Each structure stands twice: as C-alpha cells, then as structure tokens.
Amino acid sequence: MASAGLAFRPYTVQELDPEILRHNLCDQLEDSAVRVVCTYTVSKRDNQKLQLQSLQRKVEVYEALLGEILAQATINERISVNNIIKKHFTASPEIFSDILASESLTKHYVQVPNSKISLGQMYQSMSDNAKLKRPITKDPPVRVNSIKFWTSIVENDTASHLLSFYFTWENPTWNLIDLDMFLQDLETHYPGRYCSRLLVHILLFFGCSFSYRLNRITDRREEKGLGQKLYDQIQLLWENDKGTPDLPTIQSGILLGLLSCTFGVDRLGTQFIMNGAKFYLQSGYDTVEHYNEHSEEENQLSSAELSQEMVSWAVFDIQALASQVYRKVSHWPVPPPQRCSAQQAARLDEDIEWKPYPFDLPVSRPHYYTTLRYRSALAAIVNEVAAFSLRVTETMTKDDQEYCYILYKRMVTWKASLPPAVLPESNTTPHILCLHFYYQATLISLSTLFTTKASPITDTGEHNKIDFDHVKFEAMETIGSLILIFKHRHGWKSIPIVMLHYFCLAGVHATSQLDGHNPKWALVLESCVVGLWHMSLGWGRLCKAFLRTIELVLKSNDPDPSLVPIKVTSIFKHLNSDMWSATDVASLSADYVVQRVSSKANVPTAGSVSHQTLEDLIRAMENL
C-alpha cells in the first residue's frame, strides 16, 4: 500500500424543491406607447422551458456564492461569510427571496427517497400475499440512525435492513467485523478506528446480495440497482483509502478480496486477502500490547481485547482458507494468541440469540465466542495443512508421510473435543454448519494430498492402518449430509459466501455418485445446483462458473438421465441459453482447485482423484 492521506469526498447538498415561479412573457411584449394589454397565453412547453431557465439561473447564482465562500475561506479563515452573502443578495435579491423565507435546513432536511429495500417493504409483501405465514421480525437487529454521515445513497431504514442481513448471515462465519465497536463508531461519527465510509459501503453492498423480495425471492432488480450504485462508490473510496492501512481499510480489502473471488477473478481476490492479512500482521493489530484497555477482572479480557482477538482470528482464518483453496502462501508464521478462556466465552454466550433475519423464528443459541475458540484452533491446523501442501511438490518422503499422519490425528482430536453446543446434531445455525464444512473440507484436502503424493512402498508402521481414500470418501458423505441439513433448516434465500466452495465441492462429487437405489446424492446434486443458482442472483460470475463446472463433469460421467433431478436439468438448460457465454469463459481468472472422484465405487481407489484449477478445467472441457 502506498502511503497516502485520507481525503473524504464532499457530500452532495440536498436542495429544497424550488417554488414554481410565475413568468409573464407579456412584460416583454407590452407596447408602452400604445398601452395595449397583451393577451398572449404561454404554452405548456414554453412554460416548462422558462421554469428550467429560472432554475438554472438559481443554480448558477448559488454555485457562485458557494464558490466564493470556499475560495475566500481558504485564503482567510476569518472572512465574514455574511459579507459575501450580502454582496450576492444585493446583486440578485429575487434569487434569494425563497431561501430567506424558508425554514432552517436542519428543520427541513430532505430525506433520500424511500427505497423499496427495507423491512417495511417486506411487511408490505407479507400483507399483499396471504400465503406468507412465517412471522417476520418487528425491528431489524441492527438499527442505525446516522447513515447520512457516511453515505447519501441509502437512508436509515434501508441501511438497517442491509446491515442486519450482513451481520445475521455473513459476519458470524468469521466475525471479521466487531458489530458493537462498528456501530458505536458509526453512530458517533468516528472514522478510522472501527468504521469508515469505505467499510460502510462494502457492508451495505454485501447486504444487497443477501436481500430479496419476500413474495418473490428471485426478483433482485432493486438490490442489483442499489448494489451497482454502492459498488461505483466503493471503487472511488478504495482508490482514496487504500494507502491508509488502518483497521477498517484492511477489513475492507479482505472483503473486497472475497467479493472479487465471486466475480471469478480470484487471482485478484486472493491478492486482496493475502495482502490485507499481511498488513494486519505488520501493523501489529494481532499483538497483545496493541490496546491499553484491560479488564480489571483477573483472566478476563476487556471489550477492546475481545474485539482484537476476534478480528485477529478472523483475518488469520480467512487467509488460511484462501491458502488452502487457492494454494497461496500464508504470511503468518504462527497463529494469533488465543486468550479468551472457555469460562469467559461461555459467560459471554449466555444471553445471545440468533434469528434468521428477517424472520423471528426459529430462535437459536449461536454460542459465538465458544465457536470462535474452536474455529480458531481448527484454522491453525488448516494453515499448517495449506503450507504443507505447498511444500510437497514431488513424492512424499517418509517424514512427509509421518507429518501427514500427525496432522490427521490433530484434526481427529479437535473434532473429538467439541462440546454439544457446537455440534450440528444440536446446533444448526449457519456458522456452526460452516465450521463443520470447514473441518470436512480440510480432511478432503489432506487426504487428497496423501493419495496423490504418498509413495505406496514407504513403510510407516502403524500409520499404514489409516486409509485416506476412505477418510476422503466419508468426509464427502458428511458434506453431502450437511448440505441437506442447511437446505432443510435455512433454505437458499440468504447464503453465506463461503457456501460457494462447499456447493462446488459437493456438487462435483455428487455427479459421480448418482444411484437409483440411494437418492441421497441426487438430492445433494439438486441442492447444490439450486443453491448456486440462487447465489448467482446476488453474487458474481463464480456462481455460474461453478454451475458450468458441475454440468460439464456431469456430462463427462454420462449418468442415466433418469437419475438427474428435473430441477438440475432445467437450471443447466437456462444456464446455457441465458447465463453462460464465451465472454464468461474468457473472463475467468480462477486458481480455485476443483477436486473430483471419478470412481463410482463406494470407496474410490488411489489415483482416481484428480484436481485442477477451475479455469483450466472449464476451458479444457468447453473445448471438448
């Protein structure tokens, strides 16, 4: 990041609607010598033209006034603004008459036009459709009252609605943004510490990708229109802020990285993520000494320390996942310290509830802080697995294979240590399910590494009893089951962004497992394809690329057509006719690794596993 100051773009002044002025063309036509009264009637078009000219004249005078105020204030900060206004008023008194007659702007603030994207709009949809019986919440869980300080694109109701979507469905996966700290600075207009204009616009954009019309969830036109306005502003703000490595800018860069990955340009996206993680590390945000505020209670972290630990682990976690999925080098030699005790985590979790916004039911206990402790421990192993896979480029040595077994044992031990509160059997909140997707996907990554790189003749003693082919197959089975649980509990209206990865992983595997005697994988295939299609309504090209990948792999496996769900066939047909083109193929810049099991046997054999980048796979199979 180049060093550059933070210069905020000035806000647009909302002008009051001007009073329509009466124009008398007869003033110019009246013959003063003859004293004949003119009876000329102005046409509607002429009247509109004159009104426009009058308005343009007002704007020119106002701009001249503001320009002189700004210019003189720059030269002499003590210049009398009243003197400047008096000079302009003397020159054009009629222009300023309606300003002088109006109320104070603070009493007559003009709100941004009401958006159709709000909780109120959802209530309207519910009242218009008698079939919608599921109760929606009365108030958004995230309520803001000062959004006009940060953006002129949305008003408070829309901002509250979109931020509620983000903090309900996306943020709990990693907890990259501390909600309490963020809201505190947003409402008190405190930029640079936990909040910034850039970060606000990005979170609102993410919210647009989760939002929908209650009576027609596939209609995202309003969200797309608003999202485009937000994205245009994000691009401008990023150019301005990227040289300021404060916390909101680093968080914004990582979120932009995730967003770029959904656009199918993960080489750029992972650069954002890995650089953001590196700058976070270099800035010392992960160190214990970074904050001076400490809890007075022994062995208890203060709110600032908790926030620091939560965000540090989120940054580390996201870069570990990017390192694993996209094969990128991690800049973190060791994970951040974990200082929040199990006792404090349990106490913090006691009064927290999770509801599937915008709905009121079902109510769950999310156990955010307890989950954070276990997810952090898993992320540390994931980071090691990712680094190990990058290091092993040829056939594994005996030491490599021993280390592979050690990593596997650590993962199994981690799974065995989980309390009931974070197990999917008793807790199906999205971030808990994502935690278990993460675990199973890492088992698959480690197993794939072993089955493709291990030497079959190396004697590793007792470790030979571990069948990594079977480990991978069982992990795939579990991921398939988790997909079905997610669909049953939450549907596909709002889906965490990381689910893109798991849909592709399970969907590709499902194409080789279709069986007329076991409907599970047909249901998994349908769930993944429908889930990706719903995500494509709010996210970028990667959703369509994953759909195309699953379709191409399905064709290569050539299953009995009767085994392929009707919805899958229908979506693929729609994809080929309207959604996927040569431009999409040419625009891909994706290092995402697609893993396949080509065998239809219950347990795949060694060597049957193949993996290549998404870009290479699609282009190779498109050419066929």
CA distances (Å), origin 174, targets 87, 92, 431, 544: 58, 59, 8, 25
**Which residues have CB under 8 Å from 533's CB, separation 6+?**
543, 547, 571
**Is 88 contained in some domain?**
yes
**Is 405 contained in some domain?**
yes
Q: Which of 101, 131, 162 delimits the end of a domain? A: 101
**Is 12 contained in some domain?**
no
For residue 525, give both structure tokens. 């295939």
**Same-domain pairing of 136 and 94:** no
Q: Which of 347, 369, 403 delimits the end of a domain? A: 347
Given this model, what pLDDT does residue 465 score? 73
**Same-domain pairing of 94 and 126:** no
**Same-domain pairing of 325 and 429:** no
Given this model, what pLDDT does residue 375 score? 97
**Same-domain pairing of 236 and 172:** yes
**Same-domain pairing of 57 and 144:** no
Query: Cβ–Cβ contacts within 10 Å for residue 473, how many?
Result: 21
Given a contact cutoff of 8 angstroms between Cβ atoms, the answer to whether 472 and 505 are in contact is no
**Is 509 contained in some domain?**
yes
Query: Cβ–Cβ contacts within 10 Å for residue 57, how many?
Result: 13
Q: Of 535, 529, 437, 523, whose CA–CA distance to 494 is shortest?
A: 535
**Is 589 contained in some domain?**
yes
Given this model, what pLDDT does residue 322 score? 95
327: left (phi over 0), alpha (psi -120 to 50) or beta: left
Q: How far apart are CA 74 and CA 275, in angstroms?
A: 38
**Same-domain pairing of 202 and 64:** no
Cα angle for residues 191, 242, 287 (degrees, 5° grid): 70
Domain count, the chain: 3
**Same-domain pairing of 88 and 215:** no
Given this model, what pLDDT does residue 3 score? 40
**Same-domain pairing of 94 and 144:** no
For residue 227, give both structure tokens. 């999202």
**Is 56 contained in some domain?**
yes
**Same-domain pairing of 403 and 312:** no
Query: Cβ–Cβ contacts within 10 Å for residue 613, how many?
Result: 17
Given a contact cutoff of 8 angstroms between Cβ atoms, the answer to whether 494 and 217 are in contact is no
Domain range for 45: 26-101
Residue 22's Cβ-count burial label (10 Å; 0-12, 13-18, 19+) is exposed
CA distances (Å), origin 557, targets 553, 598, 604, 615: 6, 8, 15, 19
For residue 325, give both structure tokens. 């999925």
Q: What's the pTM?
A: 0.79
Q: How far apart are CA 123 and CA 23, in angstroms?
A: 46
Residue 156's Cβ-count burial label (10 Å; 0-12, 13-18, 19+) is middle
Q: Which of 316, 347, 378 delimits the end of a domain? A: 347
**Which residues have CB under 8 Å from 492's CB, separation 6+?**
530, 531, 534, 535
- Whether cis (ω within 30° of 0) applies to the bond prior to 358 is yes
Cα angle for residues 114, 119, 123 (degrees, 5° grid): 105
- Over the chain (624 residues), the average pLDDT of each successive run of 10 is 37 33 36 40 59 71 68 51 60 58 42 68 72 82 96 96 98 97 94 92 97 86 93 95 91 96 90 95 74 55 91 97 93 90 94 94 95 96 95 89 95 98 96 98 95 73 77 96 97 95 96 94 98 91 90 92 96 82 68 63 42 75 64
For residue 289, give both structure tokens. 């000494």
Q: How far apart are CA 251 and CA 257, in angstroms?
A: 10
**Same-domain pairing of 276 and 413:** no
DSSP bridge pairs for 609: 597
**Is 356 contained in some domain?**
no
**Is 130 contained in some domain?**
yes
Residue whose pair of structure tokens reads 């459709």 in the numeric block: 129
**Same-domain pairing of 447 and 314:** no
Q: How far apart are CA 204 and CA 286, in angstroms?
A: 26
**Same-domain pairing of 35 and 165:** no
Given a contact cutoff of 8 angstroms between Cβ atoms, the answer to whether 443 and 475 are in contact is yes
